[in-house]
Chain A
């Protein structure tokens, strides 16, 4: 698409770039990406603070820094926040900003739907965190195992905030997944065949498929749970014949693919950075694509490995054990190919590269401990202990967050036209690397030595104190490392926007346009002949690329700003949120109807509003 600038009669709708209203009505994928990034980073810091409070509580045995109730809310909200409000939307920031740029598109396929996704995400995140203010934060774990979540054992609104909040966030994820899926299928630059797409786009593509197939399952599970809590059904309640294990199955059929939803974007980012900073193409591109797809496919056949301790019987245990082990093969392929990419290269150890290498190094640890508990009898000892906490933090922090941070350093100049300071970035890296490993590596020891998860304290005679203290100090270092990151960004924001279009000798299309890109991204999209179009042009130009000039863009048609997506998002919030009031007063459904009215009116106005 969009290989040439086509003139059309009416004036084009280039957005005004200032004022709050311009942000509320924006449909520009780049600005929505920034909104996602800022919002998700704030939620991420909130989740981090929750973690630090837990670490202080666990610093010594029988500590009373926080109450048991608060601790349970903290670990529930830490998990929920980091997954749904931190890592997923941080990935969405990169999807938003860089999928269109990397495939040479003007915008996503449905710009207003994109804005809608963001507003629903924001409102959902605020909704679920609002619970803290009225002292009703969710406290039944991010996994919400039935029947602890029933009215009998979880009275109060805590679990309702969780159920309804996740339901709202699910709407945002689904809308975004459809949008990015269609964008990647349908909006690629001429010549960009599927097997020429940048690896980040590939992994994002697979992530969208996982979202599309996994989220409906949790949607239904949450509907059942909502019915149990508010409309007296017994889907998960034994007193009416229901079975709590059904929740676990539905939850993990969603939950395991969700793990890959969290990690695959990071795989993609690292697969972009390693070649650029090794100055060598990605080793085994095709194998990387198919291993990613294979991981995603297998991801739907392993959910019960979260449930070995439920006593499913030897045949189910054996099946899910073997299918889980199988995932190690494509994952290994990825790691070996990353090392193969670096091998023989000319490694430029800039900050993004350090984070990318850190991600690879730490993901290996998480992967190996993953193999350890794919062994069901051994998992019977490890599950629900700190060994598991160590494992998934190596995967999701050592893997996903390191990868996302690598992406932040890599793409910051493109997004804001300013370089982040490399020395400070390296300081950030080493603090984060040490802090992370000091915090999470000892958790392996604690878990194997018998410390269960989700305990607000532990008795002194079990000797868990030493490692807990070490971990707490590590976590503080980890926390401080993010202050360095924030300071780095703040310093950058004070400098003039003078970053070159391509500070890293990048391989993909986004480096061919000015930093930050103009609203329409590409005045002319260059034809694509390989997976590294920018390198092709650089070689053709004898090793250098001319600095692209800003152009007027007159005549380029951009979508018209609209506030109907935000209005519709409010409709979603009110409609779903109204269920909170079923026990409070009998006319609660008036709120639902109000929400539905806003929703329908929003959709109607949206549908009949001209897009351009």
Chain B
């Protein structure tokens, strides 16, 4: 599947860890700074929006062509549920990996499917949330809150999407029997990335949704 796969089979690495695994850890380290920049910007601009809608407070906003009072825009219960689903998906992918390593194909396919479904649910939730916000008058350029919020959560959402596609590809391979125990590393690497995406959300959720 990738360059180092063959390398790893032929030659032991210095650390004994597969190069692709080191690479994904490296990528994760780097991506921390990506999200740190996004989250910092969100925080720097918190409370600096010139018009509404705002996340936690009532505000004046332009809706249907006229200025009017509008409600705080966040729906915490929905996002909390989405967060829980994403967290569970991290748990499921661990089970799937366990299945893959043990050569238990049924377990692998079951839990990997569950992971993908959870990921899809999260994406669906975000699409629903965004379109709901849009109808409430919060376009991408409405105010600084909107721009920083959509950019931050949009970046995260696109990471989730990449993760779902990646895991779904592995699921297809598993169903076709092309993910034997010897190749479970392919799933392990995807799972590391998936955990990272979840962990980032665990930072975003309190910082963006809970912190007032």
Contacts and interface: CB of A to CB of B under 8 A. Distances in A.
B19 A182 contact: yes
Given A216-B30, A220-B37, A227-B147, A2 B3 contact: no
Interface string A1-42: 110001010000000000000000000000000000000000
A557 B27 contact: no
Interface in A214-247: 214-217, 219-221, 223-224, 227, 231-235, 240-243, 246
Contact of B3 (A109, A213, A223): A109
A466 B2 CA distance: 60
Contact of A213 (B15, B29, B45, B140): B29
B30 A182 contact: no
A608 interface: yes
B3 A178 contact: no
A186 B151 contact: no
Interface in B72-102: none
A349 interface: no
A212 B34 CA distance: 10
B202 interface: no
A111 interface: yes
Interface string B15-32: 101010011001101110
B23 A178 contact: yes
A182 B26 CA distance: 8
Contacts of B106: none
Contacts of B44: 243, 246
Interface in A105-135: 109-113
Provide the main secondary structure of the chain A interface: helix
A403 B66 CA distance: 64
A383 to B, nearest CB: 24
Contact of A111 (B3, B27, B36): B3
A186 B15 contact: yes
A513 to B, nearest CB: 18
A499 interface: no
A220 B34 contact: yes
A185 B14 contact: yes
B211 interface: no
B30 A242 contact: no
B11 interface: yes
Contact of B45 (A112, A188, A216, A242): A242
B143 to A, nearest CB: 7
Interface in A161-214: 174, 177-179, 181-182, 185-188, 192, 212-214
Interface residues of B, number: 40
Contact of B34 (A1, A2, A178, A216): A216
B6 A185 contact: no
A602 B37 CA distance: 30
Contact of A181 (B26, B31, B38): B26
Given A109-B7, A608-B1, A186 B38 contact: no
Given A110-B3, A174-B30, A227-B147, A1 B14 contact: yes
B30 A178 contact: yes
Given A241-B48, A246-B44, A213 B33 contact: yes
Interface string B115-141: 000000000000000000000000011
A113 B27 CA distance: 14
Contacts of B140: 231, 233
Contact of B141 (A112, A187, A219, A231): A231
B23 to A, nearest CB: 5
Contacts of B30: 174, 177-178, 212-213, 215-216
A240 B148 CA distance: 13
A405 B64 CA distance: 64
A361 interface: no
A250 interface: yes
Given A112-B3, A217-B37, A607-B2, A241 B143 contact: yes
A216 B37 contact: yes
Contacts of A253: 37
A215 B44 CA distance: 20
B12 A1 contact: yes
A368 interface: no
A534 B49 CA distance: 63
Interface in A565-612: 607-608, 610-612
A242 B11 contact: no
Contact of A186 (B10, B22, B36, B48): B22
B57 interface: no
B104 interface: no
Contacts of A217: 33-34, 36-37
Nearest to B147: A233
A608 B173 CA distance: 12
Nearest to B146: A233
Contacts of A223: 151
A415 B23 CA distance: 28
B41 A246 contact: yes
A216 B11 CA distance: 32
A178 B11 contact: no
Contacts of B187: none
Interface of B: 1-7, 10-15, 17, 19, 22-23, 26-27, 29-31, 33-34, 36-38, 41, 44-45, 48-50, 140-141, 143-144, 147-148, 151
Which 3 A-B pairs have CB atoms at the shortest separation, nearest pair first?
Answer: A216-B34, A1-B11, A220-B37
10 contacts: A111-B3, A181-B22, A182-B23, A185-B15, A187-B14, A213-B33, A214-B33, A216-B31, A234-B141, A240-B143
